[in-house]
Amino acid sequence: MTTNTIISVADYYGTKGARELVHRVKNNDVEAIAIMARVMAEIALERLPADSVLIPVPSHTGHATNTLQLAAQIALLTGFPVLDIVRGRMRNSWYTLKQNGVTASRITDAFFGFYLVDVIKHKTPVIVDNVFDTGQTIVTISKLFCQPIIVLTYASTVR
């Protein structure tokens, strides 16, 4: 399914402190998650439809980890519900693979192994992640839904 909107708060390389904050969140730093959530909640209240539901992106473990904490913090500030309904297979982290020279063109849907453990009806799915880079993860997740999705991310490397 086509992604209809990508909402990003910061430029990963161009916004002072963005890269560092993203890495702190990836390391489950509670203070960093709270900081990121406050900024993302502000834009979520401005830009997301009232029927939005926050869906965290799974990590390489196959379950949402830091993104679940991030979505929960955003939910506290916005009132949007969180549904942790996307799972994947355990795999090497995408970040590590990119550092080792693997490109998005070499990654298939099977690499992630994403699937839904529940469905949502009559709500707008908002995929929550801390960084948008190649888009491969989001493209793969979007195929799970029968409607367009919105991506809410803190930082984007796409300029």
Where is pLDDT greater, at 104 or 110? 110
Query: What pLDDT digit, counting tens, does each position of 130-142 carry?
Result: 999 878 889 899 9
Containing domain of residue 115, as a range?
A: 3-156
Determine the pLDDT at residue 101: 81
Q: Which residue has the tokens 């992106």?
A: 57
Q: How many domains does the chain have?
A: 1
Cβ-based neighbours of 22, under 8 Å, separated by 6 or more: 12, 36, 130, 131, 154, 155
- Kindly report the CATH number assigned to the domain that includes residue 115: 3.40.50
Question: Cα separation of 3 and 127, whole Å?
Answer: 10
Q: Is the pLDDT of residue 2 over 80?
A: no
| Residues 6+ away with beta carbon under 8 Å from 56 | 64, 67, 68, 70, 71, 82, 84, 86, 127, 128, 129
* pTM as predicted: 0.91
Average pLDDT value over all residues in the chain: 91
